[in-house]
Structure formats: structure tokens, C-alpha cells
Structure 1
Amino acid sequence: MTTDPLRKHVEAAGDLFDPACPTRRLLDRIGTKWVSMVVKLLAEAAPGEIRFAELQRRMPGVSQKMLSVTLRNLTGDGLVARRVEPTVPPRVYYRLTELGLSLEVPLAALRAWAEAHMAEIDHGRPDNH
């Protein structure tokens, strides 16, 4: 057993370079453009909810299947809550959980960084010369 506090933190954090690392698996799930868009839209509506069809309408380019998979994963991870009204057809609503709301801060920072540096990155790409 180690008594070095830094070593304990590293062990608890996992090894990002290990394919079995839980942190790596989570980053794979939350690091997509669709997750970022869903979290942004639901954060803007918080503490309210948004219906599935409204999310799809506000996310140009997302297929119904991709949005369903994204929402299912976010719900399974405890970041999004799902509520179904038993109407015909059923109305399905989504909202961020407290944990999901905490994800908006780092994702917003990443989006801001991307917006600030996209021109530089585009300029440096070989296919843009």
C-alpha cells in the first residue's frame, strides 16, 4: 500500500492510456459533437425539459438513431433524466441531472476554445493549401 498522496490520486484516476481505463471509456462517450450539442441545449433549458423532437429539430444533421443512442448513453451514465408521458404517441422529455449540469462547464470551455482556434487549425490543415 502506498502512502504517497500523489500516487494515490494517480491510481484513483486511472490510466488514460490503458484501453480498459474507466476514464478513457467515459471520455469516449462524452467527447462527441452530439453529446456536446445535447448538453448545451439541455443546459439552456435547465431546469426545464426538452422533447426529443425539439432536440432533433435544433441539432441539424443528427439522425433519429444517433440522437436516440446519444440520449440513451447519457441517461445510462446518469447525466440526463428521461420522462415519458403516456399519450398516443408517447411524449418523451429530457433534462440534465445535477451531474449533467456539471458537465456543461468543461464542454462550454472546449466549445469556446474550438471557436477561438478553428481558423488557425483550418489554416494549418494540408487540404487547405
Structure 2
Amino acid sequence: MRTRREIARLEAEASGLLAERMRVFEADGHSNSEVSDVAYRSMVSEYAAAGRLAKMTTQSAFADAAALDRDFSAVREALREGRLTPSHVREICRAGAIVREAVMNGTAGADALDAFAEAAVKIAEADSPAGHARRCRRWPRRSRR
């Protein structure tokens, strides 16, 4: 169990580094330029090659890191403390994207992201990643009704 917690801590650290890289990327003026898509794909390709990972895996890692950094600090802390696995975090970020979109569109209150994250962490701590994935995917749909 100690080793799993250490792996989760290192995954949280890696996520933090990717989030920092995204902030630098955006600060360099790539967030809204026409060249941003090409620059982003190039950055992802470089990281994928360096880590010997698939481009989609690397792109997902960047997206999850940005979500943890921007929207889900409670989830990031739970990962850092070893209470969640990277698989849990991936599922929370995927399902949380629906909640974030609802907040941005004004169909959910600003506190919906925090409520979702708190509930997702609490459930994930007592569930397998696969079971948690099913629950995460159902929760945003139910909350939109």
C-alpha cells in the first residue's frame, strides 16, 4: 500500500509539471492564436516521444493536468495523498468536463464543480476505478435534470 501511495504522489507531481507546462504554453501567447493547434500538437508529440507514450495518452495527461490545476484541487490533493489512483482521477476529469461545461454555459451554478469533486473523491476512496467510472458518468447526467 505504501508503494501505491508513493506512485500516486509521483503521478500528482507529474501532473503538476504538465499543468505548469500548459501555463507556460498559454503565457507564450498560444492560447488563442491560429498557430496554437499546431504548436500544441508539436508539444504533445515531443512529450510523447520523450516519454515513449502514445500521443493520445500524452494529450489526455495534459488535459487531465489542466483540469486538476484549474477545477479540481481537491482531487489533485487526494491523488497527492495517495487516496486516489490515477485511474480514478482520469474518470473524475472525464465526467467533470460535463459539469465544467454546464457551469460555463450557465446551466449549473459555480459551486457545482466543487460539489462534484467532493462527491467524486468521497466515492472514489471507497470504490474501484471501474466502479467509480460508472458512477462518475451517471452523476453529471442526473444533476442536469
TM-score, normalised relative to structure 2: 0.27
Higher RCO (C-alpha under 8 Å, 6+ residues apart): 2
TM-score, normalised relative to structure 1: 0.29
Higher helix residue share: 2
